[in-house]
Amino acid sequence: MTAPEPVPTTPVQRGLATLGEAACRYREGAIRPEDLPMIAAEALAAGPDTPALRELAGLPRNAASDDVHDAFAQALAECGLPLPDPATARRHALRRLAVRLVDGPVDLAELTQEEWWETETGTAAERAFVELMPQCSCCLDYTLPSDLRTWTADLRAAARALTTAVPAAPGC
């Protein structure tokens, strides 16, 4: 078992953590470009202060997506944070999903909506988790209740293993 990632303790660290997670979620498609100026403003209020972050925070919601993207990438670079590639962002999303599964109930049918089973993996823990993902809701419909309980327990165990494994990359 690995040590958990350090929890951000200062306002600047919390602001950087917010930006890092936003970078992953943006690349994954979970955050729209028009939401990035507000995220930048919140991060700026928390402490990190760079010219590009100030510029991004000042952009209107209806700014051109390319301008927002460029300002966000520059703000991340000035903060020393990477803009992850989409595959890495998806792997971080997989990890966030594992945390949700460990923390509480998640409907297995919900897991079929994002096609998680197609996610490219890079570690054994990720592979074990993805291999247990239901491919479609009909897979669940034709599974006996006792098998469904076993499947759910196995999926939670794989999720727990993933949450304690080394993350795919820093930042999210």
Residues 46, 116: one domain? Answer: no
Residues 26, 45: one domain? Answer: yes
Residues 115, 146: one domain? Answer: yes
Residues 91, 112: one domain? Answer: yes
Is 169 part of a structural domain of the chain? Answer: no
Residues 65, 42: one domain? Answer: yes
3-state secondary structure of 100: helix
pLDDT confidence band for 117 (50 / 70 / 90): confident
What is the per-residue pLDDT for 40? 95
Residues 64, 99: one domain? Answer: no
Structural domains in the chain (count): 2
Continuous segment of H or E residues that includes residue 51: helix 51-57
Closest of 97, 92, 91 to residue 120, by C-alpha: 91
Q: Is residue 2 within 8 Å of 165, Cβ to Cβ?
A: yes
DSSP 170: T
- Total-model pTM: 0.74
- Which residues constitute the domain of residue 21? 11-78
Residues 38, 104: one domain? Answer: no
Q: Give mean pLDDT, residues 33-41.
A: 96
Residues 21, 43: one domain? Answer: yes
Is 1 part of a structural domain of the chain? Answer: no
Residues 100, 52: one domain? Answer: no
Structural domain ending residue among the three candidates 35, 58, 78 = 78
The pLDDT tens digits of the residues spanning 45-97 come to 988 899 999 999 999 999 999 999 999 999 999 999 988 888 888 888 889 88
